[in-house]
Chains A and B, each alone.
Chain A
Amino acid sequence: MRPMSMFARRLLYWLSMAAGLVLAIVPLPGWLDPVRPDLALLAMIYFVLTSPRIAGLGYAWLSGLFLDVLRGMVLGQHALGFLVVGYLTHKLQLRMRMFPIVQQAVIVMLLLGLYHFLMFWIDGLTGHGFTGWVRWLPVLSGALLWPLVVALGDSLTRRSN
């Protein structure tokens, strides 16, 4: 099986990041809203693991910045979160690829936890603190979704050759 061309892979990366950002602001019914997984972040982790030379830190940072504008947050908040997660994933990628999927999901959960802790912390510094336990739900939903993200990503990159 021939792998996807570099260009197609790059295009797929951009498209999935854009889709993830759009899905971050699509209206959801009230009870589902707090559970909303960070799809753009999951897509970024996936691409850092599979194509680290395409998914550089610059794009991660820029996607976070767009999310800040989309959701009207203080500029740089999500950008920093995406950057930190991207950097750690780059550092861990050689190990993470060897892990079975469950272990990968656990690492992803830790990364998401760190991301949401950063968001929580910056929210507190900028005076928007919301301390309810519901704000940690995306960590769980994201980790549970990880196997699905991998399956979808793998099938997409394989089919289009």
Chain B
Amino acid sequence: MVELSHDSRPIIGRGPPLTAYFLTLTAISVGLMMADQRYHQIDRIRESLSRVIYPVQRAVDFPFRATDWVTGSFADRSRLRQENLELTARLRLANLQLQRFAVLEEENRRLREMRANTAGIAEKVLVASILNVDLDPFRHRVLLDKGAADGVFKDQAVLDGEGIFGQVSKVNAATAEVILISDAEHAIPVQSNRSGIRTIAVGTGDQNKLSLPFVTVEADLQPGDLLLSTGMGGVFPPGYPVAQVSTVKRAGSMFALVEAKPTARLDQAREVLLVWFKAPVEAAPAATDAATATPTAPAGGQ
């Protein structure tokens, strides 16, 4: 049972009136929230607070990183050898494919030049680690160990080895928050690799599922179709895999029920790539860009 201590509030001379204090702080909180939500005036305050918080986040992350390091350094020789062999084999295969790719890229570049449009390939990438920090169980956000100091900017595209991962939603001095493509507030314009159908893939809050709500019943989409980013809106580089269609149900009268599985390993990735690329020439003003890319997301939209 909670016991009385010597410093319980005296009946007389209670110090500052509690209720007045409470109301003042309430007003400040509400003001802060409105300023943060509507006017984005207080990014400075968040910035300086995040500087204080950063060591805490690093400290939470540290034990996990240390365990990884320790298990990594004591991995036995035979396993490393095995891994090495596998990697060599994969590299050989990749090089082979790359030779063909180089020819294709050259051809692609020439064709694009004819259209006076040098969009597409990522110009610069930066590898960032995901900090082992839980933000919110109901939102798909992760924290990267790169921030404004490394040139990271808001709405920057984030990829992993397998496809589009998400986009930067908040930039702090040394960290950046990323909203995953599976977050219920995220949407990304995609195009089917096979049929060329363009649509929008919306996050569902389930890391293994994207939903395509705007596909008509007649649209040519099949399970197994690869969905690529279109680059529309200028947030994501075009032509990178986003998801693979898993189910198509043509039950309703207007829209088909289509679900797709993200190709990026949203729940396993430890390292991701921050991408700088040249937006297509015809990509119009920034305001409309963000709105197209994330119609429902405050991350990109506001």
Residues of A within 8 Å of B71, CB to CB, are none
In the assembly, what is the distance between CA of A13 and CA of B178, in Å?
33
Ranked nearest first, the 4 interchain pairs of A and B with the lowest CB-CB distance are A76-B32, A80-B29, A130-B138, A76-B33
Residues of A within 8 Å of B21, CB to CB, are 57-58
CB proximity of A65 to chain B, nearest CB, Å? 7
Verify if B170 is at the interface (C-beta below 8 Å from A): yes
- B7 touching A51 by the CB < 8 A rule? yes
Which one of A27, A74, A97 lies within 8 Å of B134 (CB-CB)?
A27
- B57 touching A83 by the CB < 8 A rule? no
- B170 touching A72 by the CB < 8 A rule? yes
Main secondary structure of the interface of A (DSSP, over half): helix
Chain A CB within 10 Å, residue with most, of B42, B136, B298: B136
CB proximity of B227 to chain A, nearest CB, Å? 25
Question: Which residues, 41 to 93 on B, are CB-close (under 8 Å) to A?
Answer: 42, 45-46, 49-50, 52-53, 56-57, 59-60, 64
- B185 touching A127 by the CB < 8 A rule? yes
* Interfacial residues, chain B to chain A (CB-CB below 8 A): 1-9, 15, 18-19, 21-22, 25-26, 28-33, 35-37, 42, 45-46, 49-50, 52-53, 56-57, 59-60, 64, 132-139, 141, 143, 169-170, 177, 184-185, 205, 296, 298
- A50 touching B25 by the CB < 8 A rule? no
Q: Which residue of A lies closest to B48 (CB)?
A: A69
- A52 touching B9 by the CB < 8 A rule? yes
Residues of B within 8 Å of A122, CB to CB, are 33
In the assembly, what is the distance between CA of A75 and CA of B47, in Å?
11
Residues of A within 8 Å of B15, CB to CB, are 53
Residues of A within 8 Å of B133, CB to CB, are 25-27
Residues of B within 8 Å of A14, CB to CB, are none
- B59 touching A22 by the CB < 8 A rule? yes
Q: Which residue of A lies closest to B296 (CB)?
A: A127
Verify if A139 is at the interface (C-beta below 8 Å from B): no
Residue interface mask A23-62, B partner, CB < 8 A = 1: 0011110000110100000000010011111100110010
CB proximity of B44 to chain A, nearest CB, Å? 11
Verify if A71 is at the interface (C-beta below 8 Å from B): yes
Verify if A6 is at the interface (C-beta below 8 Å from B): yes
Q: Which residue of B lies closest to A32 (CB)?
A: B137
Which one of B2, B29, B132, B185 lies within 8 Å of A50 (CB-CB)?
B2
Given contacts A61-B25, A66-B49, A75-B45, contact A97 B4 (CB under 8 A): yes
Given contacts A50-B5, A97-B2, contact A26 B25 (CB under 8 A): no
Question: Which residues, 126 to 161 on A, are CB-close (under 8 Å) to B?
Answer: 126-128, 130, 132, 134-135, 150, 154, 157
CB proximity of B284 to chain A, nearest CB, Å? 25
